[in-house]
Amino acid sequence: MKKDSKIYIAGHRGMVGAAILRKLKEEGYTNFVLRTSTDLDLRNQNDVDSFFKLERPDYVFLAAAKVGGIHANNTFRADFLYDNLMIQNNVIHSSYTHKVKKLLFLGSSCIYPKLAPQPLKEDYLLTGKLEYTNEPYAIAKIAGIKLCENYNKQYGCNFISVMPTNLYGPNDNYDLQNSHVLPALLRKFHEAKEKNLPFVEVWGTGTPKREFLHVDDLADACYFLMQNYDGTEFLNIGTGIDLSIKELVALIQKIVGYTGEVTWNTDQPDGTPRKLMDVQKLSNLGWKYSISLEEGIHKVYTQKFLS
């Protein structure tokens, strides 16, 4: 990408899209074409095609998606499947039609089978059943991977796909009904400390293990891959390190400075037992994360709740 190349970031106001935009600006890129969801409904094929015809972007980062945690995924199952399929189908097809030089599609680690061996290698895709609670979202993301792969094979496009592990960082969602585990815990513990509550209730048993990547590291990896990777196969992006939810709770409790008790509501679902990414392929290309989990959570907590 040249510094004056026209770059379209779909979803630039979300956590991932905003981080990619920050990264590109830091690297000296200036020619961005951006639309909010109010300006452009990516689910509308005609509107997306008209946008690409008008703007003719050179490069596309497809970070737009309908996202949420276990509760949101399991409650709005049809919406998660329909909206994500429409968004990615329209953007990827219009990128082909209007001769985009390169596209990067962002998926999710939930694409892997629920009981896949750990760590999760790219080869494990479609080798078993998905976790039921987020199956619609996962199916949409798998379709996006296959769409990029086959536009490359049939039409010679340069569309790459990346699968990030669990993300956190600026612009995260802190709604307790719809957010992911890390921001939800940060908010719970912060409010418990502020209100001097005697205990914090956490869903599940605390035994599942999760890997977390700061969104600024993800943006750095996406920028690196747009510069250095043209393969058809998708790539995992993560740290290669995980911890149990109990360990995460203890870390967040320490960072927030909450001194009350933690209770575990074991009537609520745990989700997938473990989701650790195998990041060997990405590592072999020369990229590695730089923000440790404790440092990242400190930074996020300070920015969101203490500034």
Q: Which residues are catalytic?
A: 137
Q: Is 170 annotated as a binding residue?
A: no
Among candidates 263, 254, 141, which has minimal Cα distance to 205?
263
The beta strands (E) that lie in the chain are given as 7-10, 32-33, 59-62, 102-106, 159-164, 166-168, 199-203, 209-210, 212-214, 235-237, 243-244, 261-265, 274-275
CB of 242 within 8 A of CB of 210? yes
d(CA 293, CA 251): 9
Q: Is 164 annotated as a binding residue?
A: yes
Phi-psi domain of 49 (left: phi exceeds 0; alpha: psi -120 through 50; beta: other): alpha
Q: Is 13 annotated as a binding residue?
A: yes
Q: Is 187 annotated as a binding residue?
A: no
Q: Is 292 annotated as a binding residue?
A: no
Q: Is 12 annotated as a binding residue?
A: yes
Q: Is 141 annotated as a binding residue?
A: yes
Buried-exposed string 201-229: b where 16+ CB fall within 10 A, e elsewhere: ebbbebebbbbbbbbbbbbbbbbbbbeeb
* Strands 235-237 vs 243-244: parallel, antiparallel or unpaired: unpaired
Q: Is 290 annotated as a binding residue?
A: no
d(CA 280, CA 275): 15
Q: Is 77 annotated as a binding residue?
A: no
Q: Is 98 annotated as a binding residue?
A: no
Q: Is 296 annotated as a binding residue?
A: no
Q: Is 134 annotated as a binding residue?
A: no
CB of 120 within 8 A of CB of 108? no
CB of 63 within 8 A of CB of 16? yes
Among candidates 63, 158, 147, which has minimal Cα distance to 105?
63
Q: Is 128 annotated as a binding residue?
A: no
Q: Is 108 annotated as a binding residue?
A: yes
d(CA 79, CA 84): 8
Q: Is 269 annotated as a binding residue?
A: no
Q: Is 260 annotated as a binding residue?
A: no
Among candidates 203, 214, 225, which has minimal Cα distance to 289?
214
Tokens of 46: 């005609």
Q: Which parts are annotated binding residues? A: 11-17, 106-109, 141, 164-167, 180, 188, 203, 210, 270
Q: Which parts are annotated binding residues for substrate? A: 188, 203, 210, 270
Q: Which parts are annotated binding residues for NADP(+)? A: 11-17, 106-109, 141, 164-167, 180
